[in-house]
Amino acid sequence: MKTEYLKINKPEARNVALPVVMTIAGSDSSGGAGIEADLKTFSTFGVYGATCITALTAQNTKGVKSIEKTPRKLLAEILNANLEDFYGYENAPLKVVKTGMLTKEAIEEIVKCDIKVKFVIDPVMVSTSGSQLFDLDGIKYCVECLMKDAYLITPNLPEAKALYGLFKSPYEITNVEEFKKFVVDLQSHLLCNNLLVKGGHIPFDKEGNVSKNGSQVIDILYESESQILTLYSSEYINSENTHGTGCTLASAIAANLTNGKSLTDSVTISIDFIHKGMLQMTKLGYGNGPLNHNLTPCTQVSHLIEVGGNEVLKFDDNNTFVDYLSSHPRVKQTWQKYVEHPFVKRLAENTLPFESFFYYLKQDYHYLIIYARMHGLLASKAPTYQQTHAAATIIGEIITEIEHHKKRLKAYNVDYERDIEELKPGKACVEYCDYLLNIGQKEDFLGIKVSLAPCLHGYAEAGAYGRKLRAENPVEIPDIYEGWLNEYASDWYSKADKEGRLALNALVVDGITRIRAEELVDIFNTVSQLEIAFWNEVLDI
Amino acid sequence: MKTEYLKINKPEARNVALPVVMTIAGSDSSGGAGIEADLKTFSTFGVYGATCITALTAQNTKGVKSIEKTPRKLLAEILNANLEDFYGYENAPLKVVKTGMLTKEAIEEIVKCDIKVKFVIDPVMVSTSGSQLFDLDGIKYCVECLMKDAYLITPNLPEAKALYGLFKSPYEITNVEEFKKFVVDLQSHLLCNNLLVKGGHIPFDKEGNVSKNGSQVIDILYESESQILTLYSSEYINSENTHGTGCTLASAIAANLTNGKSLTDSVTISIDFIHKGMLQMTKLGYGNGPLNHNLTPCTQVSHLIEVGGNEVLKFDDNNTFVDYLSSHPRVKQTWQKYVEHPFVKRLAENTLPFESFFYYLKQDYHYLIIYARMHGLLASKAPTYQQTHAAATIIGEIITEIEHHKKRLKAYNVDYERDIEELKPGKACVEYCDYLLNIGQKEDFLGIKVSLAPCLHGYAEAGAYGRKLRAENPVEIPDIYEGWLNEYASDWYSKADKEGRLALNALVVDGITRIRAEELVDIFNTVSQLEIAFWNEVLDI
């Protein structure tokens, strides 16, 4: 008998806090809808799913064969078990409850629990395959006890009409304006906070009239507090993979809300997710197949929506995109704190302890290595080969800078190869580098460029600030910090700064939507904060 | 009332075939174990999960509050619904069944269905929190009817002992040798194909003796057909996140088997997955918390195991790593087909239609752009900044080559900027480039280097082959293909080829494990096949 030994490495430990969503819904044994679809969707969006199964179904893509409600006592015990563990204390992880197929007993038990988190209610009445899953009596009770004050309700149009029918005679919707009116009207009866009515059953033509051959689907979100209607327009998708689309949309919205996304963004991301799920799946089963829930979702709204119709920002040589970013209301203070950092002031005054500067040089050495690698990622994502080339050329320049650094460190008797242990990057450097590499992975060319901008342009401003301070209060004897100030206040660095601004402008020459600009502001702001932390650490040692 | 319009882009369609795993197990409402853990794990590993819930439990991290078995009739309907849709026809997607908590009725129904796919049986008897989940009578029946001939059974030691007790008096295991004997003995009674006994309950000391303070966990897999015992040794992990480890391990193994991984690799990947899940999770709930199932799993075995103890391959100047790759039994034929491709033969004979060569030039232009981008990814993953620099330098050289190409194309009246539409990459080029970019995302520096090697070294061999053919049968009038042959059979290209071989050798100067070498052989082989397809397409137009 042969014996093989394999020694498995221990992974590193990390704190990864997962927020919890509880789905209260039926189980779909075929895995495409119900709590199965919910759990798959929660996992894809990185949130933790707990369940309260209201009924077991035997079903597949062809239809529902059998339903068995969960005994009421057990259902109550399940709810209480989850709430006991995940809810009701400070920083408790349960953030959102998503409901699907309900029973009257389930609603009664939910109401009893009086759970004070956001409820996303998908009012499941009929399965995609045509089975009636909830009776009118139950629906009435649900409207009275659960939907009122709920955070969000997500009916499709037939469900919305059934709900409307509890209050008024439903009418035929023939165009977008009537659809909008219908949604606002329905909300005024349901009294939920927000209402999303899915229009997949009534495609519209280009004029906004309902048409059997219409190619445009419109889903309408009404937010009652702000009284804003958002119309999500998309191309009608002809797909056999529609089993569980409703469940999946609602659970994707619930997951995104849990992750802190706004409601409108959550809806955009989730609509795209189900579209991808339908289009990027080889059909499973004989009936309407399930979606692919395993796709990497896109959570950057600007990548999902068309520019047309959205506000577009434009820049020019006198009002560069870098100016926009650094003077943005959310960035301005951070930016000033960064470029007028006490580190620079103390350099200018020659009051920075040498050990601090020495620590800074060593940290910066690590940073430059990552900065070079980031340009590799930039090269790999460049839209044109000329831009790939430009990124590669910058790598060469950064390497020259690294070699200078190495020589400078050698002058202080630090030999990198010898002293590698002592040269370990500090917390601020590691955090900064990790953030950049993460951006390098997930962002596009422009996003990466923006993540590298605070360093390039901030140092120019910091250099100028330092020189100004020193001009006001000259240091008699030339000191070791003179070189640093000279470098970043020099003509060549100022030229690099200007060229960088124009290069970034060139990338947004056609303008960018406000929504994309906001994402880039976030990146620019975070990196500026990381620059501050980098210098803070130097002063703290 | 304000109305906002958002137009959501339509995602591209793709064929993504998901294989199906069915889990037959209990539901854990808290989401950490049972079908909930299974579904999360299946999603993480990219397989589609269907369910057959054997029982509902009300439980949380502190314990199981209540259990309710699924009515037998419904359970049978669920099994049949899934089998009707996913099983029993040509290329049916159901590949593996994973079982967790069972009831005697469930086993009877499963046996009735006579499902001929791999069964992974996690013989759940007691929950992590201490609740008895299955009675002795049921276990006996399970052994007789389900475990016999099952593909894999995955008990922990207490479960293994309980199973052993059905046949013989269990004994205390005091060292590794006794543990090995026990596993082999237990398999001889259970008659399953493969048996994995998890040793987390009896840590070993360095001498291989069971010790309360032992820091080494050993899980033993016995494969009865090959009679090979594999000992998976790992550091004992002290974690409170242990709720559902057993379910998760078994479902991870099932998912990896579904994805076509070998059993030994599936076990390695799954052990690492639960270790990461325990270590990279902020505790949830009051009791033993669940794992993090949402982590990106590592499926490259060589990255998970320690080199020590595994066979290490070494190379030298006369026996380079490139030689090893191209002469590997799995590659040899492919490699010869590639470097002696009819495309080269027809170039040498001057019988290649010009349109074909022209098509090749245009395809190669696209390829080079991706080839440059790949060096960006290489730069971003380089272990040293000197290697980042080297990769950037190569980008510069590739760009020069692209510019040459562009000039050559211009001589044929092709203007890239003008004719961009006509220059669209063909299927073979797109597939090749997509594969490379995927490798560039997921592989390390060495893996990327290997993916780029068939092009660099294959062209040298192809050039030599072409020159040899032409020397044997000279073409009277110098033709347009002379330049191509001269380039790749030239001294400078031969020098680049040799330098590339030595550079790759330098990366594996300390040797690599056979297991890593095999992964790299796969990459090298796939890329060589893509090179063949690239030239095939040229001849086919």
Distance from CA of A304 to the nearest CA of B (A): 6
The predicted-structure confidence for A331-346, as pLDDT tens digits, reads as follows 999 999 999 999 999 9
Say yes or no for a CB contact (<8 Å) between A376 and B374: no
pLDDT in tens, A167-199: 999 889 999 999 999 999 999 999 999 999 999
Structure tokens at B299: 């499926």
* Arithmetic mean of pLDDT, B265-277: 97
- Which residue, chain included where needed, has tokens 């063949």? B532
Helices (H), B191-262: 245-258
Amino acid at A492: W
Give the separation between CA B202 and CA B182, rounded to whole angstroms. 13
- Annotated catalytic sites of B, by residue? 455, 531
Cβ–Cβ gap B395/A389 under 8 Å: yes
Residue of A27, A29, A84 for testing the chain B interface, max B β-carbons within 10 Å:
A29
Record: contact A373-B396, CB cut-off 8 A:
no
Instruction: Find chain A residues with C-beta within 8 A of B444's C-beta.
Output: none
3-state DSSP assignment of residue B206: coil
Report residue A469 CA to chain centroid gap. 41
CB contact under 8 A, A376 and B372: no
Q: Which residues in A lie closer than 8 A to residue B304 (C-beta atoms)?
A: 8-9
Query: What pLDDT is recorded for position A386?
Result: 93
Q: Considering only the beta carbons, identify the residue of A20, A81, A382 that sits closest to B58.
A: A81
Region of poorest pLDDT, from A285-294, A475-484, B384-393, B437-446: A475-484
CA–CA separation, B205 and B210 (whole Å):
6
| Residue of chain B nearest A309, judged by CA positions | B5
Question: Class for domain B312-540, per CATH?
Answer: mainly alpha
How many angstroms separate the CA atoms of A24 and A254, rounded? 12
The residue from A52, A192, A247, A455 that is catalytic is A455
> Contact, A429 vs A448, CB < 8 A?
no
Interface touch A85/B382, C-beta < 8 Å: no
Three-state DSSP class for residue A488: helix
Asked whether the beta carbons of residue A58 and residue B44 sit closer than 8 angstroms, the reply is: no
CB pairs under 8 A between A and B: 404
Q: Assess whether pLDDT exceeds 80 at residue A389.
A: yes
Q: B481 with B352: CB under 8 angstroms?
A: yes
**Alpha helices per DSSP H over A208-331:** 245-258, 263-279, 321-326
Q: CB–CB of B48 and A31 under 8 A?
A: yes
* Calpha distance A36→A29 (Å, rounded): 8
Residue B391 identity (one-letter amino acid): A
Rounded Cα gap, residues A357 and A539, in angstroms? 9
Distance from CA of A465 to the nearest CA of B (A): 32
Query: What pLDDT, on a 0 to 100 scale, did the predictor assign at position B226?
Result: 96
Tell me the shortest Cα–Cα distance from A340 to chain B, in angstroms: 31
Shortest Cα–Cα distance, B136 to chain A (Å)? 25
CA angle A217, A223, A228 (to 5 degrees): 80
Q: How many CB atoms lie within 10 A of CB A84?
A: 17
Å between A280 CA and nearest CA of chain B: 4
Measured between CA atoms, how close is B387 to chain A, in angstroms?
Answer: 10
Say whether A375 and B392 touch across the interface (CB within 8 A): yes
Residue matched to tokens 């690239």: B534
| A113 catalytic per annotation | no
**A297 pLDDT exceeds 80?**
yes
Pairwise CB contact (< 8 Å): B282 & A17? yes
State which residue of chain B sits closest to A401, comparing Cα positions.
B385
Choose from B1, B2, B8 for mutation: most chain A CBs within 10 A.
Answer: B8
Instruction: Point out which residues pair with B24 in neighbouring strands.
Output: B52, B99
Answer whether residue A128 shows pLDDT above 70: no
Q: Which residues of B touch A8 (CB under 8 A)?
A: 232-234, 268, 271-272, 275, 304-306
Long-range contacts of B512-516 (CB under 8 A, 24+ apart): B512/B302, B512/B312, B512/B313, B512/B446, B513/B302, B513/B305, B513/B307, B513/B310, B513/B311, B513/B312, B513/B313, B514/B310, B514/B311, B514/B312, B514/B313, B515/B301, B515/B302, B515/B305, B515/B310, B516/B302
Contacts of A392 in chain B (CB under 8 A): 372, 375-376, 379, 392-393, 395-396, 399
Please compute the mean of the pLDDT values over residues B364-392 and round it to a whole number: 95
Q: What is the pLDDT of residues B283-333, one digit of tens each?
A: 999 999 999 999 999 988 888 888 666 678 999 988 999 999 999 999 999
How is chain A split into domains, by residue range?
20-280, 312-540
Question: A500 pLDDT band (50/70/90 cuts)?
Answer: very high
Residue B128 to residue B144: CA distance in whole angstroms: 26
Q: Residue A247: what residue type?
A: C
Using CB atoms, which residue from A16, A376, A377 is nearest to B280? Answer: A16
DSSP secondary-structure letter at A487?
A: H
Nearest residue in chain B measured CA to CA from A382: B373
Mean pLDDT for the stretch of residues A47-64: 96
Q: pLDDT tens for residues B109-142? A: 999 999 999 999 999 886 655 666 567 778 889 9
Where is pLDDT greater, at A518 or A134? A518
Residue from A67, A227, A385 to probe the interface with B (highest B Cβ count within 10 Å)? A385
Q: What are the structure tokens assigned to A154, written together?
A: 């997500």
Q: Specify the higher pLDDT residue, A382 or A415.
A: A382
Sequence-ordered alpha helix ranges (H) in B443-513: 445-472, 482-488, 491-507
pLDDT of residue A207 exceeding 70: yes
Phi, psi dihedrals of residue B64, rounded to the nearest 5°: -90, 120
pLDDT in tens, A398-407: 999 899 888 8
Contact A369, A436 (CB under 8 A): no
Cα of first residue to Cα of last residue in chain B, in angstroms, is 59
Condensed to tens digits (0 to 9), the pLDDT of residues A239-256 reads: 999 999 999 999 999 999
Interface mutation target, options B41, B206, B380, B416, chain A, most CBs of A under 10 Å:
B380
State the Cα–Cα distance between residues A536 and B456, nearest whole angstrom: 48
For residue B374, the chain A residue with the least C-alpha distance is: A380
Judged by DSSP in three states, A292 sits in coil
Are B11 and A276 within 8 A, CB to CB? yes
**Shortest CA gap B85–chain A (Å):** 5
pLDDT at A129 over 70: no
Phi-psi region of A124 (alpha: psi -120 to 50; beta: other; left: phi over 0): beta
A24, pLDDT greater than 70: yes
Q: What is the pLDDT of residue A133?
A: 59
Out of A77, A282, A304, name the one closest to residue B8 (CB).
A304
Q: Given the structure tokens 């259970």, which residue do they identify?
A: B190
**Residue B7 to residue A233, Cβ atoms within 8 A:** yes
8 Å CB contact of A381 and B373: yes
Q: Which residues of A touch B376 (CB under 8 A)?
A: 375-382, 388, 391-392
Q: What does the pLDDT read at residue B128?
A: 59
A415 vs A56, more confident: A56
Burial class of residue A423 (count of CB atoms within 10 Å of its CB; 0-12, 13-18, 19+): middle
- Please state, rounded to an integer, the average pLDDT across all residues of chain A: 93
Q: Most A CBs within 10 Å: which of B29, B194, B406, as the mutation test of the A interface?
A: B29
Q: Taking the alpha carbons of A399, A405, A407, A413 in that order, is the dihedral positive or negative?
A: negative
Taken as a whole, chain B contains a residue count of 541
Amino acid B307: pLDDT: 65
Q: Nearest-CA neighbor of B18 among A140, A496, A283? A: A283
CB B446 within 8 A of CB B509: no
- ipTM of the complex as predicted: 0.83
Q: Which of B60, B282, B377 sits opposite A82 (nearest CB)?
A: B60
Question: Residue B243's beta-bridge partner residues?
Answer: B290
Q: How far is A60 from chain B (nearest CA, A)?
A: 6
A381-385: long-range pairs with CB below 8 Å, 24+: A381/A444, A381/A445, A381/A448, A381/B373, A381/B376, A382/A445, A382/B373, A382/B376, A383/A445, A385/B368, A385/B369, A385/B372, A385/B399, A385/B402
CB contact under 8 A, B385 and A375: no
Question: Which residue of B5, B6, B286 is the best one to mutate when testing the A interface, meaning the one whose CB has the most A CBs within 10 A?
Answer: B6
Q: Which residues of B touch A17 (CB under 8 A)?
A: 282
Angle among Cα A311, A313, A316 to the nearest 5 degrees reads 160
Which member of B232, B377, B381 has the closest CB to residue A6? Answer: B232
d(CA A376, CA A393) in angstroms, rounded, equals 10
Q: How far apart are CA B57 and CA B129, in angstroms?
A: 13
Record: contact A53-B56, CB cut-off 8 A:
yes
Question: Closest chain B residue to A374 measured between Cα atoms?
Answer: B380
What are the tokens at A263?
A: 């409601």
Residues of A in contact with B29 (CB under 8 A): 50-53, 78, 81-82
Report the residue of chain B nearest A93, measured CA to CA: B284
Phi first, then psi: give them for residue A451, nearest 5 degrees: -65, -25
> Which superfamily is assigned to A20-280 in CATH?
Ribokinase (3.40.1190.20)
Residue in chain B lying closest to A279 (CA): B13
